[in-house]
Amino acid sequence: MPRITRFSVFQVDLPLHEGSYKWSGGKSVEVFDSTIVRVETDEGVTGHGEVCPLGPFYLPSYAGGVRAGLAELAPHLIGAEATHLDVLHQRMERSLKGHPYVKSGIDIACWDILGQVSGRPVCDLLGGRYGDDFVLYRAISQDDPETMASRVAGYRAEGYRRFQLKVGGDPDVDIERIRAVAAVIEPGDRLIADANTGWVQHEAARVVRAVGDVDVYIEQPCLSYDECLAIRRRTSHPFVLDESIDGLNILLRGHAEGAMDVVNIKISKFGGLTPARQARDLCASLGIGMTIEDSWGGDITTAAIAHLAHSTPTELLFTATDFNSYVTVSTAEGAPQRNNGRLAASTQPGLGITPRTDILGDAVLVID
Ligand code: MG
């Protein structure tokens, strides 16, 4: 029964191969600020997790908040049994109400420990492996319509067949963006227009009507669940909810009201693999498709995504993300690497990763 003896927190900058990532409302990030959590135990087993918000203006989370939250929360967890994940979550909730993204890195690290202690990959412990690998999407950073369309060929050459356009800007330009990319889509490809809450309801209504003849999924058109539901009810497009779905209550309401065909399960949005698995299993039972990913991250986040995605029924896993191919810095050896637009979870015990200590540098926070 490994008990937690120490937390070490590391900060890593993750620049992007493409220089910047742009999405709705003029938001963009050039260098992601990621936090890696090391959890040590009295049995010598050590686990790692990662939390990387999509800047401070996407979800109610920010990079400095991860570390401030860990400074507040971690002292309450010294001595806790690392592999009793549900008990640990209760203890975390009693120590710090809410702030799921703060808890996510600890939870992922403890799954890493559970896997190592039991000699099994996390994927096995989350339910088992479906098939040899699973499908990824590529996000296409917001740009002018022609540039976005021109990126598809390069991503397809890398094996991607699912393309998620960052829209949620000027609705007239967004209509052009969707049409320009749709014109270069090939049979078997999937096109997703993700507005990331960027349209108000009357704009969203115009866009979905204007692209009514296009085979495109519409993702989170508006800020609120109710606005999205109103749009959902007046379009025939397959519909994805992301930012609005951050827990089981709203997921159940969305199912009851027929609000979506697919939900986006971001691990840190739910508070770690433990609550994300709960949402995943509920979606699987209800027949709701899933995109499985996180807000952002590097090798450790990508490993965690891979274990959750690979243990998700293939027919319901709409797509997932390999964030480590977007960033220029590798923080861990053994992380899964994209192969022909697909990814597989490690078969090694735990997450199957070994952090690069030279990249992590000195801990910015130690709690013991
Ligand atoms: Mg999204």
* CATH number for position 18: 3.30.390.10
Same domain, residue pair 226 and 305:
yes
Task: Report the interhelical angle of 100-118 vs 273-286 (nearest 10°).
Answer: 90
pLDDT digits (tens, 9 = 90+) for 220-249: 999 999 999 999 999 999 999 999 999 999
How many angstroms separate the Cα of 251 from the Cα of each of 24, 270, 279, 292?
24, 11, 8, 15
Give the range of the structural domain holding residue 300, as residue numbers without chain letter.
124-352
Indicate if 319 and 209 belong to the same structural domain.
yes
Question: Do 108 and 138 lie in a common domain?
Answer: no
When pLDDT is averaged across residues 332-345 and rounded to a whole number, the result is: 98
Summarised one tens digit per residue, pLDDT across range 87-97 is 999 999 999 99
DSSP 8-state symbol, 16: B
CA 359 to chain centre: 23
Whether residue 52 is predicted with pLDDT greater than 90 in this model: the reply is: yes
Q: Is 166 a residue of the active site?
A: yes
Query: 1 pLDDT band (50/70/90 cuts)?
Result: confident
Q: How far is the CA of 242 from the centre of ligand 1 (A)?
A: 5
CA of 291 to the centre of ligand 1 (A): 9
Could you tell me which of 20, 321, 268 has the C-alpha nearest to residue 162? 321
Find the CATH number of the domain harbouring 320: 3.20.20.120
Instruction: Based on the fold, state whether residues 21 and 133 are members of the same structural domain.
Output: no
**Residue 82 and residue 105: Cα distance in Å, rounded?**
13
Say yes or no: 270 and 359 in one domain. Answer: no
What's the rounded mean pLDDT across residues 264-282?
98
129 and 262 within one domain: yes
Same domain assignment for residues 129 and 112: no
Residue 150 has pLDDT above 90, yes or no: yes
Q: Where are the alpha helices (DSSP H) in 96-240?
A: 100-118, 122-125, 145-157, 171-182, 201-210, 225-232
Instruction: Select which of 22, 27, 97, 166 is catalytic.
Output: 166
Q: Are residues 250 and 142 in the same domain?
A: yes
Ligand 1: centre distance to CA 65 (Å):
22
Confidence of residue 187 (pLDDT cuts 50, 70, 90): very high
Question: The whole model's pTM is what?
Answer: 0.98
**Is the same domain home to 99 and 27?**
yes
Instruction: Measure 6 CA to ligand 1 centroid, in angstroms.
Output: 35
- pLDDT computed for residue 165 by the predictor: 98
Co-location of 108 and 163 in the same domain: no
Tokens 């199957």 correspond to what residue? 352
Q: How many domains does the chain have?
A: 2
The tokens of 347 are what? 């078969």
| Residue 212 clears pLDDT 90, i.e. is over it | yes
Q: Distance, CA 137 to ligand 1 centroid (Å)?
A: 11
In the chain, DSSP assigns E strands to: 4-15, 21-22, 28-29, 31-41, 46-51, 134-135, 138-140, 162-166, 190-194, 217-219, 239-241, 262-266, 289-293, 317-320, 332-333, 342-343, 354-355, 365-367
147 and 288 share a domain?
yes
The mean pLDDT of the chain is 98
Place of tokens 């992301």: 242
Same domain for 322 and 195: yes
**Residues present in the chain in total:** 368
| Ligand 1 centroid to residue 244 C-alpha, Å | 10
**Residue 86 binned pLDDT confidence (cut-offs 50, 70, 90):** very high
Q: Which of 27, 97, 103, 266 is catalytic?
A: 266
